[in-house]
Amino acid sequence: MKEQVLTQSIKFEKKEIERSFMKLQPNATFSADRIIYYPYYYFIYNVKAKRLFLPMDEKVGCAVDAINGNGSLVDSNPKWEASEILEGQRMREYQALEDCLTISKSFIYRSLSLKMRMLSVSHVKVEKQHLFYRPYWVVYNSKKSGQDFIVDSVTGQYHPL
C-alpha cells in the first residue's frame, strides 16, 4: 500500500554511497539496500526580541523526532516534495503533533536562552508546522560479522545500525 507524504529529496544515491563505503573498507562489499523514511515534525517560529542596537525579528526552525520526541535546530527552510512511499518503507510516528509542539517550544526557548544575547523575548509564535519524512539508506555489509549502517541521504552522514 502506498501513501503520499512530504519528504526531503535524496541527495546521496545508492552507487555513490556504496562506492564511498567500499573506499573506506576495501575488503568488504556494501549494498545500499533500501530506503527507510523516518518521521519528524517541522516547526518554524517567528521570534521577536528587543536588543541593544538591533531588534530581533527572525525565523527559527526546529525539527522534533516523531518517534523519540528529541528536538533539533534546523538550519534552513528546505523544499519538500510530495512522494508516494510504500508502507514498508515508512516508520510510523509515535508522538502526537501537539506534544511535539510543546517539546519544540521548550527547545527553542532553551536554545535562545543559551545562545542569544537578549534580556527577554517579546514574541515567539509558531508559523508553520507539519510532519515530514527524511530518507535514510540502510547499507548492509556483505561480511557476516561486518557492521551495517544507516546513511542520511540528505547529508551523507552515517551511523552503525
Q: Which of residues 120-139 bind another protein (CB under 8 A)?
A: 120-121, 124, 136, 138
Between 99 and 152, CB nearer to another protein: 152
Cβ-proximal residues to 146 (8 Å cutoff; 6+ apart), any chain? 25, 28
- Taking the complex as a whole, the smallest distance from the CB of residue 55 to another protein amounts, in Å, to 9
The correct pick among 5, 44, 97, 146 for binding another protein (CB under 8 A) is 146
Size of the residue set binding another protein (CB under 8 A): 72
End-to-end CA distance of the chain: 26
- Taking the complex as a whole, the smallest distance from the CB of residue 21 to another protein amounts, in Å, to 7
A 10 A CB-CB count for 95 gives 18
5 binds another protein, rule: CB under 8 A: no
The correct pick among 71, 83, 100, 133 for binding another protein (CB under 8 A) is 71
Cβ-proximal residues to 24 (8 Å cutoff; 6+ apart), any chain? none
Sheet strands (E) in the chain:
2-7, 30-49, 56-65, 71-74, 81-86, 121-141, 149-152, 158-160
**Cα-flanking dihedrals φ and ψ of residue 143, to 5°?**
-70, 140
Site string for another protein, 91-120 (x = CB under 8 A): x-------------xx--xxxxxxxxxxxx
The correct pick among 89, 101, 126, 131 for binding another protein (CB under 8 A) is 89
Scanning residues 14 to 43, which ones bind another protein (CB under 8 A)? 14, 21, 24-25, 33-36, 38, 40
Scanning residues 51 to 70, which ones bind another protein (CB under 8 A)? 51-54, 56, 58-61, 63, 65, 67-70
Element (H or E) spanning 47, and its range?
strand 30-49
* H and E: helices and strands count for the chain: 2, 8
